[in-house]
Amino acid sequence: MPKNVNIETGGLLLAEDWKLYPIDERNWELCHRYASDHHKAKDNTPRWRRCGRYYSYNTIDQAMLYVVDQLIADGCRDEALTLAQYAAGYRDICERVVTWFMKGTLG
């Protein structure tokens, strides 16, 4: 992603301080909002920072699971469990679409 892209707005929010930001029509980069003094804006609000972790349209669930792992490590168990449920639901929907598509195209 070009350095001059403003990642403060937009993207797909995964958890309170985690989001996927679109790089192009097929790829995303994981971003995290940090509350440390080093990563605050001039008005003292936390800013989003790119994590250097990239995901494609077919690996969104892997981004969710990475964030679940980070949330558990940070002691945010409830938020981690909620996101894990969303990841499982997302994966189930994807599997159903693929199954439906294969049945529809193969007979």
pLDDT tens per residue, range 53-88: 999 988 999 999 999 999 999 999 999 999 999 999
3-state SS assignment for residue 35: coil
Mean pLDDT, rounded, for 92-104: 87
**Token pair 């639901």 is at which residue?**
89
What secondary structure letter does DSSP report for 57?
G
Residue 107's pLDDT is: 53
- Could you tell me if residue 23 is inside a domain? yes
- The structure tokens 């892997």 sit at 62
Question: Mean pLDDT across the stretch 1-13?
Answer: 80
For the cut 80, the answer to whether the pLDDT of residue 94 exceeds it is yes
* This model's pTM is above 0.85: no
For CA atoms 93, 97, 99, 100, give the dihedral sign. positive
For residue 1, tell me if it sits in a domain.
no
- Residue 6 in any domain: the answer is no
Residue-number span of the structural domain to which 96 is assigned: 12-106
Domain assignment present for 66: yes
Residue 21: inside a domain, yes or no?
yes
- Domain total in the chain: 1
Question: Does residue 3 lie within any of the structural domains?
Answer: no
pLDDT single digits (tens) 21-55:
999 999 999 999 986 655 555 667 788 999 999 99
Q: What is the pLDDT of residue 89?
A: 93
